[in-house]
Structures are given as structure tokens and as C-alpha cells.
Amino acid sequence: MTDVQGIVTKMTLEEKAALCTGASSWTTTPVDRLGLPELLVSDGPHGIRRLPDVHALSWKSLPATCFPTASGLAATWDVDLLYEMGQALAKEAIALNVDVVLGPGVNMKRTPLCGRNFEYFSEDPYLAGELAAGLINGIQSKGVGTSLKHFAANNQEFERHSISAEIDERALREIYLPAFETAVTKAKPWTVMCSYNKVNGTYASEHHRLLTDILKDEWGFDGFVVSDWGAVHDRVAALQAGLDLEMPGPKQTRVNAVIEAVRNGELDEAVLDEAARRIVRIALLAAQTPKGSNSSIGDKFDAAAHHALARKIAAEGMVLLKNNGLLPLQNPQHIAVIGRAAQKAHFQGGGSSHINPTQVDVPFSEVQKLAGNAELSFVAGYPEDNCFEQTLIDEAVATAQAADVALLFIALPTFKESEGHDRPDLDLTEQQVRLIQAVTAVQPNTVVILNNGAPVVVHGWIDGTAAVLEAWMMGQAGGGAIADVLFGRVNPCGKLAETYPVKLADTPAHLNFPGENGVVHYGEGLFIGYRYYDAREVPVQFPFGYGLSYTTFAYSNPQVSAATFKDVEGVTVSVDVTNTGQVTGKEIVQVYVHDEEARLVRPYKELKGFAKVDLQPGETKTVAIPLDFRAFAYYDPAHRQWVTEDGQFNILIGASAADIRSCVTVTLQSTLQLPSVLHRESTIRAWLEDPRGKKTFEPMYRQLMAQMSRAFSGDDDNGNEVIGMDSSGFMLDMPLLSILHFQEDALTQPADDIVDLLLAQVHGAVG
């Protein structure tokens, strides 16, 4: 690659400032005299949205394959499959002359109401990070870059350009940052996109701690940080914070502001040089892969092959939520196909990720292809808008009564779910609910097929159904994938990457969403998704990791590589999985970790590993899943690092978060030598929990216990018995200094001096 630093050194101040601001809506500024080409980026979490005119913010893009959206991809739990999809996306990017694909998004699904949840993977950071890394590695293996987004805490559409997400340090580190960290460290995306919102009062585009301290310095990110489109408020402040490229452009006022800031000493030119260096490196890296007609594949990609891949992925991600034995369909003679989405496929979301598909499978037609000689009847069932039309329901009821089976295609309309606005509720439309209730009342063999990007409430109608298939926003080939699953050509194996609640009021962020006065408090802290439902013992409709199959699986012989192990060594857990049914199927084995005792509060269990296994009937395979240091660690804000503690952990092996099949207990030995964080106001409990503090303080503690026990028991001056108090519990939560002040008359030196002496011994100790 051309000498990056040499180019930066030769650039003028004006050229460097211009390079750090977009030249158009989708391109960077080239420097022709130095041989630096422009870089062309395109929206693309699940397809390439390449506009014919890169200088315009229009919506009509060139044809490309529309793969399933992230919620459907996540339900595959298949890193290898996402890698394969990434390779296909890269080939299309090459054909369409795109250097960097803007995606994937790994923000957490804090609430199912977020309008953009269909673009995000999961409520669990481990799963989201692993899937994102797979997709990024696939795309970048072909010489096309990615842009990991939206960094960070972009978990709602309400006031997304200005809202301040107020998040405590542990929740930030354990929930909202790990998926980004995994993707950065495992896949090394070329770029990371900052989010619009503020994080704890500072715009993400100006957040030095996020963009520089954590992303670049701690995680070693060596690409460039780009703004979300229009996310920059103060260009100089953003540059100082670590935001390298502002998009879109052109914005000469921004360029001039940077030039002026350097000239007047407000901005160190070395900061600008570093931003320019990062952009130059990626631009030159992208140029190594010829694009369009100059590439090895030319300006055309294999649309048919990619459509077939999209169909495979869609089927792998569909989740069978309920089945009383009706599915797979067994040669029905008359099928009632009900629902507007059967003829007009609802396969993607609205907003910046909207793809112009190369073709679209119509669900009705795809069902017809596999239905043999069966008669198919279609009725719309519900209107395009939110109107209520009883005549459509009456027509559907009559059609369903005359058939052997009713297939109800229910799509959550864009006016309820789209980028740009959050959902007002988790309900289907009134018409859709009434339709399902009416049809199931007359036709017990009713299958509901859902097209949506996030959970919906089902408790008002699910009991009357024979089967429910969650098909998500399934991509352009999803109609065929639905037919494949319904008729058993594909055995469903998808599992939920997010919890389905019984009702909205049960959800973790319900009392802290969407915020007010420009602030949203993440009051649930660590406890989002299944972590919350576990802690509160709240019943759910369908748990995280849940999904049915046309076969059954048995788990046996759980093993660990070591019953006792050091944290830095990790441990491997294995289990035998047997297909005990009659058809080939895939099972997703999930491994959760439970800490039996911790100094800080921890969720009851956390996903730390998973594997997908393909089994013939009667076949058994051993699944082995490694667990590393981080699988057992939590983030301690006092120490500002990930911490492990000696003790026992339960390794829970399950088919879902609520279906734990095996438990193995292991003992971890921590290798950490943590410095003491004791200070003048530390409680006695803190002194006793600190290894060095306990050693230094324990003799004094015994003496204090005896004194306090006498002080809070016995008789009063009139001989009446005084009700004793638990002096040990009372004392533990008091600062040592306060306790000593109560005893100061009996002390040989001031309480402050005693505590200072103890602290000097603790902090001067060599561990």
C-alpha cells in the first residue's frame, strides 16, 4: 500500500481539513495531486442501497439483494451463515462500486418499542457481538469495508438527535458496549459510526472517552470514526474528541472552522493529522480492491445465487413459536390464504436501510408452488391503513370455514414500525387482532405467519391458533422461505434473540422510556431482556433463545475440561446432543453462566457461548463451547476494569434461557492482583471485603465488635431490658471513620489518624 504517512505529510492544511469532511452525500474528498482517491460509502445493513447519484440524498437506489433484516438474521444464531451473507454483500458492493457498507448495527434492544429494532440483532450483547463480527469478517474478506454503528446507546428514535442516554458505568460496560468491543476486536471494521444522541450529557460525536479513550486506545481500533449523517454539532470539538470524518458534505463552513482552529491554536494540527492519516489509510486500502467494470466480477453480480442465499437465510431465521402438530402441512386440499401480506410481501423496514430488491417472492405464489393440487383461496383480511373494515373480516371467515387450513399472513404495518419513530405499543392493529380471533373461532387449523421486526403481543389471540411462525422482515426471498417451512422442505431452527413479553408493562424499560426534558434514564441498569425477567421473576410469552422444531433433541453427558481453573485459562464445556425425532434438524445449544456469589450485583445468568449443530434422526454429536476470562468477569467501576473473583460458577446448558437442560459447577481461581480502593469513608464491610484491608483491619474489627455489642445491649438505668440490635449488621454499613468517632474518648489517638495509618498500610502493601 502507498505510504500513508508520506501522503499526510505532503497534504496542505486546507487539504487535510477538506478530507475530514465529506465531498458529497456519499463520498470523501479526493486529493488528485497525491493520488488519493475518493471513498464511496453506501447504506447497507442487509443490502446495498447504492444511489445512482452520490451527490443526492434521494431514496431510489440501484437494484440489490434485500436480505432479511437484523432481527431475522439474529434468530439464525449462525455466525458462519452471516459470514457467507457478508461475502455476498461485498460482491454486490464491488459490482456497484461501493467501498464501505454502512453497517451492521449492534445497539441493544433495550425496549421492544424502538422503531429501529429491526436493524439491530439482540437484547444480549454477547450474541449481537458474535453475529456482527461474523458479518463484518465476511464483507471485509472480499476487500470491502464496513461501518459498525451506532456508537453508542442509540436505543430509541424519540429525540434521537438530542436525547441524553443516562447510563451508569456498569450498564454501559456490560450491556451497551460489549457488542461493539467484540466486533472491533474480532473483526476490525474499517470504520465505526457515531450515534446522534448524547451519552451522559455529551454528544456521541464529541465524546472523547467513547471515541478515543475506549474505542481507539483501549480496544485498539485502527480505522476511522465517521459521524452518522448530520450528527456533528461542533466540528472542532468533534475532531478533538476523535471523530475523524463528518458526513454528509460538502460543508465548506466546517472545513473553514477546522482551518481557523488550527491557525489560531485552538486545535493542535497533530489531531487533524491523525484524523487524516486514518482516512487516508482506509481510502488506500479500499483502492486495492477494483470496483465496478474494473473488478474481477464486473459491474454485475449473481442475482439468482444471492436470491437463493437470501431464501436460505430467511428460512434459518424463522422461529416456530407454536405448533400443535399441524405443521408441516400434510397435503391439504383447500387452503385459505388470508392477509394482505400474502400478496404484497412485507419483507423490509422503512428508512435508510430500504433496499430496491432485484426480485420479490410473493408468499401466495410460493405457497401455491408447493401445495400440489390443493385449491388456494385468497382474501385481503385487513386494509393497508389503520381503518377497521368488518366486511374484510366477514369475507375471511367465510373463506376459512370452507377450507381445510387457513394461513393468516399478518404484517405489522410501517406506520407502526419504522426508522424515524418508536412504536406506541406492542399490538397488532385492531383489525388484525379481530381478524385472527374471528378466523380461529371457525377454523381450528389456522397458522399465523408474522412479519415484523420486533416482538408483538400475542396473548389475546394465540390460544385459538394451531401454529404461529415468526417470519420477521424476511428479505426479498422470504415468501419462498415461508413456504419451505410450512410444507416441511425446511425444518425450522431459528430461536429468538429477544424476549417476547406478555404485555408492554412487563418490559424492563417501561417506566424509563422514552424520557423527558431531553434525558432518558436507563434506570433498569444491567437488567434488560432476559436478565430483567429472571431477576423480577416476571412470566414471559416466549423466552430468549426459544424456538420449536419438527423434531426433538435430548441433551446428555455434560462435561467441563477442568473442575477448577484459572480465569486466564478459561474452561471448555461440552454436551452430547441427540436428535430423538424422525426428521433432520438443527439445534442451537446455549451456554449461560451463573455466579454463585459476587461482591457486586450480577444478573442471575448471562449468555456466554452458543453453537448450532445439524443432526440426522437418531444421530448424536458432542458440542464443545469454550468460555474465556470475560465469560466469568464483571466490570468494576471502582477498579475501572473487568474483574474476576475466586468462587463457584454454575455453567447452565440449555435450549433457551428458560429451558436449562444441564448444570455443571466449576471453581474459578482469579489471577487478578487488584489495588485497594479503600478510602477515608469506606464502610467496615468494604474493609472486610478488601483482601489487604481485611488483613490490616481484622484485629481492630474484633475489638470494635465487642465494644459495640456491649453498647447496644443490656439494661437501661431503671433496670429495664434494652432491645438489642444486630451490632454486626449495623456496623458493617457504617464508615470505619464514623464508628471510631463514636469511640474517640476511648482511643489513644484521633480517629482520623487511625484511619489514615490503616490506609497507609493498605496502599503501601505489596500484593
Active-site positions read 228
* Nine-digit cell string for 751: 480517629
| The residue type at 223 | G
Find out whether 587 and 613 touch, Cβ atoms under 8 Å. yes
Pairing between strand 571-579 and 553-560? antiparallel
Q: Does residue 45 have a cis peptide bond before it, meaning omega lies within 30 degrees of 0?
A: no
In DSSP notation, 187-254 reads H--SEEEEPSSEETTEEGGG-HIIIIIIIIIIS---SEEE--TT--S-HHHHHHHT--BB-S---HHH
Indicate the SS3 state at residue 180: helix
d(CA 498, CA 75): 9
Task: List residues bridging with 554 in a β-sheet.
Answer: 578
DSSP code of 671? Answer: -
Q: What residues have CB less than 8 Å from 135, skipping those under 6 apart?
A: 73, 82, 83, 85, 86, 103, 104, 146
Terminal CA-to-CA distance of the chain, rounded, Å? 47
Q: Give the burial class of 288: count Cβ atoms within 10 A of its Cβ; 0-12 exposed, 13-18 middle, 19 or more buried.
A: exposed
Is residue 759 within a helix (H) or strand (E), and if so which, with residue range? helix 751-764
Find out whether 634 and 602 touch, Cβ atoms under 8 Å. yes
Find out whether 487 and 370 touch, Cβ atoms under 8 Å. yes
Pairing between strand 585-595 and 647-656? antiparallel
d(CA 124, CA 175): 7
Q: Determine the angle formed by the axes of helices 751-764 and 691-711, rounding to 10 degrees.
A: 150
Q: Does residue 444 have a cis peptide bond before it, meaning omega lies within 30 degrees of 0?
A: no
d(CA 210, CA 660): 37
Is residue 271 within a helix (H) or strand (E), and if so which, with residue range? helix 269-287
Q: How far is CA 378 from CA 198, 271, 421, 470, 477, in A?
A: 49, 63, 32, 21, 20
* Nine-digit cell string for 583: 426428521
In DSSP notation, 578-608 reads EE-SSS-EEEEEEEEEEES--SS---S-EEE
* Nine-digit cell string for 458: 400475542
Task: List residues bridging with 593 in a β-sheet.
Answer: 606, 651
d(CA 341, CA 344): 5
